[in-house]
Structure formats: structure tokens, C-alpha cells
Amino acid sequence: MAKQTDAPWLVTLWPMQRGSARRAAHRVRALRTVLWLLLARALHTLWRRRLSRSPQLPLSLGSGRQQTPQRPFLAFSGSGLLLAYFHGTVTYIRDHFHVDNLQLSAISGGCSTILALAMGIDLYQILLLGLHQKQKFLKHGIYLNSFEYMVEDTIQQFESIGITDEDVAELSARQQCFIGVTQCFPPRHCCMRTPPTRRDLAALWLSSMTVIPFFRTPGVYQGRYYVDGGFSAIYSVPDGQPWDDVIKITCFPWWTTICPPAMGVADIQPQHFMPTEVLILYPWAHQRTLIERGYKDAKLAHDHLVSRGLRPLPAPLTAWSEWEKLFAAIDENNLPPLGHSHRSTLGVSEVEQHHLELLRTHSASDLRDALQGPRIRRMSSKGPGSRSDGHVTSLSKDLGESWM
């Protein structure tokens, strides 16, 4: 009778043991698949980097010819919502190095800062733009945004902070700035040169950070569908650019980047892992801390950047203490309007000076369009970067009725 009583328990335990064994086997197979994929990605990455290496000439052949200096190439990785860290890094580079000869590339969150650096846009205005965008997303929602609506809104924001068609066209002609995106069909990474129009630039910029469900659909650029460039690459480097010459900047610590797909340390990267900052929109007080962290990490790499080809300025354009005062004056609940405040700093780089000249020499048609609005920004002659607001009536008296 005991054997008959124990038999049902054995029958019950047998399927449970078989089920647990199957689950364990599934986990082992899944882990093995992930490891094989990581190995394949690592081999693919090493192969691509080997192809992009500079060909080494023997000394007998290379010593007799004059080598043309390679322009420093800075590549920013994706950042999620850690844009503030990159803002601090770019602030240090702008204040301590010549930026007119830099080549730049970025993915997703790093794009806004490199555009400001390449076109000479006031970094304070870029910061305000980010805070205004954050305020808008928190008010209207962060999910299922229309890509077409965001393109139109971005074009207006570009205009508000002083990005002109001339800026965009010149940047495209210089072949200085690149944005990384992930093409949907066929799936692959694409490193795109910035286009010559503001509309195309807005579409490419947004495509580089398009992630569903934050957007309803993939991004559309020149008739093709694209999503966030971080899905297919850590750094976006154009064909022909030697990998060894790329100055890599990321917001992730070294122990996360030595694994595939990055497989290497960056030239500028933090010591601390910031996973929540990648995913959460923190208040402005914490964003200031992240900006300072990026600034200090770039400062630690100053000598290394000089050795990689960046040309230091004889003196900083702006002291960090001045930036701290500007940041302390920002009230996140009562943000200054875009484009209506004075330029943040007195020191102006060569690229920023050129951008100011473009604003001063706007065409008559652009000025006529601007006069249709209630107010217009007018460049003042008191300084290289000061701005003042003028009413349309006073401006029309100065210019004469011929403009109207």
C-alpha cells in the first residue's frame, strides 16, 4: 500500500523536474546565443576598424614627402537623456581650444552640442533650447509624438536661437559635421553629412534620436526611414576617416565601453556610471551638476587633447565661474525666452564671430519677412555679440519705407 501511496507523488514530481530542466536548457541556449552575437559583433567591429586604419608607409617612402596635417575628428556617442554631460564637455572645448578646424560627428543626444560648436551658436541659447524642449515634453507628453510636427517645431526653434540658412549651407559645404542614424530598410548604420537646408537638418537631427514609442513612426529623411543611430553604432565615423585618429567622447565609464560594441576606452568619459540620468529627466539643479561633471572630465583630458591635435587658446574665452553665475540665474519654472537675451559671454570664438557676421548681413528678403512679426532681434554695434529688441515701428523709421 505504501508503494501505491507514493506513486502519485513520483508521477507529479517527474513533470516538474522535466519542466525545470527544459527551462534551464532554454536559459543556457539563450545565454550561448547572446555570447555568440557579442563575439560576432566584436569581430565585425575589429574588422571595420582594421579597414579604416591609416596605411603605414615605410620611413624611406614617407620621409621625403610633406605630410598634410589631419584635422582633429571628435566623435560623440549616444547619450540618452544625458545631454547635460556633453554640454559641459563642449563648453570646455569651446572655451579652451580653437574650434574652426574641428571635424565633428554625433549620435542622438550629442547632435545639438556639435551643431552649436560647428556653427558658432551661443551655448547658452542651446542650453535654454534644451530646457524649453524638456518643459514642452513634460507638459504635452513624451510618447507618440508626431515626427512631422517635431520637424516643424525644430525649424522654429532653430530660427529662434539664430541658426540661419546661411549657417546650415556653409556647414554642409565644409563637410565638417556628421550625424549617425540607423537605416530601417535595409538595416545598417549611416554616417550622414549635414544637409544644406534647415528642414533637412531638422529631419536628420530628429531621425538620429527617433525611438518608438516616443515617436509614432520612424524618422523620415530624404524619402527613407531612419531611427536612433545608437541602435547600430556607438560612434558614427564616415568612410575614409582613420579610426585611430578619432577622438572619442562618451558619457559612459570605461568599464562599460571595453565590451562590445564599443570595445575600447574613450578620450573623454566619466568615472561614474549614471544609468538613471540616461533614462530620467532630472530637475535643472541636477542638470547643472552633470554639466560641471562633463566640464571637469574634459579639463582632465586637456593635455591629452592637445597631444591629439587640438590647438589651445592663449587664454580661456570664458571662466567657469562666469558659467556658474549664468546657470544659477536660470529659473526652470520661468525660463528666459529663446533669442531675446544678450549673448551669454563676452569672449567670442572665431566661428562664433563668423556666425554673428552672417546674422548682421541677412538678406533684405529675410529682413522683410522678419518685419511681419511683432518684434525683431536687432544686432547692436556696441559689442561683437550684444543683442537688443527693437519694435517694428522704430526699426521701420530707421530703415525707411523702402523695406516695407
3-state secondary structure (DSSP) of residue 377: strand
Over residues 127-147, mean pLDDT: 90
Q: Percent of the chain at pLDDT above 70?
A: 72
Band (356; pLDDT cuts 50, 70, 90): confident
Q: What percent of the chain has pLDDT over 90?
A: 49
| Domain map (residue ranges) of the chain | 73-341
**The pTM of the whole model exceeds 0.85:** no
Give which of 378, 325, 323 is closest to 356, Cα–Cα: 378
CA separation for the pair 272, 293 (Å, rounded): 10
Under the banding of pLDDT at 50, 70 and 90, the label for residue 26 is confident
CATH architecture of 73-341: 3-Layer(aba) Sandwich (3.40)
Cβ neighbours for 229, distance < 8 A, ≥ 6 positions apart = 78, 107, 108, 179, 180, 181, 182, 189, 190, 208, 236
Q: Which of residues 315 and 1 earns the better pLDDT score?
A: 315
Q: Look at residue 20 in the predicted model and tell me its pLDDT.
A: 74
More confident residue, 148 or 46: 148
The stretch 320-333 carries a mean pLDDT of 94
Q: How confident is the prediction for the chain on average, in pLDDT?
A: 79
pLDDT digits (tens, 9 = 90+) for 173-232: 999 999 999 999 999 999 999 999 999 999 999 999 999 999 999 999 999 999 999 999
Angstrom CA distances, 249 to 34, 108, 268, stand at 27, 13, 5
CB-CB contact of 348 with 384 (8 Å): yes
pLDDT tops 60 at residue 50 = no
CA dihedral 167, 198, 77, 299 (to 10 degrees): 30
The mean pLDDT of 353-365, rounded to a whole number, is: 61
Q: At what angle do helices 83-96 and 284-300 cross, to 10 degrees?
A: 50
